[in-house]
């Protein structure tokens, strides 16, 4: 059995927008029967988690590059083209 995936959900302050995105990611995981741990954090906290994470889902522009794939999830807030984000997340998790 493969290890559980870890997904970071980050926004600038780690409060408002990441809460919305967190819920969407959790719903997506449930709908696709994917077991993963979702960690909500500030973008500034990502470096402390990235060694253990598989994916970063962010609503803010990353100020640096990370060792893990990054999916920009601003569309989850606008509800435009959300399937694209869903697919990008699933592609990373199923790889």
E strand or H helix at 18, and its extent? Answer: helix 16-31
Phi and psi at 53, nearest 5°, equal -100, 160
Question: Catalytic residue positions?
Answer: 11
Taking the C-alpha atoms of residue 71 and residue 21, their distance in angstroms, rounded to an integer, is 11
């Amino acid at each position: 059995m493969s290890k559980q995936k870890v997904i970071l959900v980050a926004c600038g302050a780690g409060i408002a927008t990441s809460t919305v995105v967190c819920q969407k990611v959790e719903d997506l995981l449930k709908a696709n029967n994917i077991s993963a741990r979702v960690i909500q954090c500030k973008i500034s906290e990502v470096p402390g988690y990235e060694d253990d994470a598989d994916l970063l889902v962010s609503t803010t522009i990353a100020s640096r590059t990370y060792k893990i794939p990054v999916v920009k999830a601003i569309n989850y807030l606008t509800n435009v083209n959300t399937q694209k984000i869903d697919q990008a997340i699933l592609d990373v998790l199923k790889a």
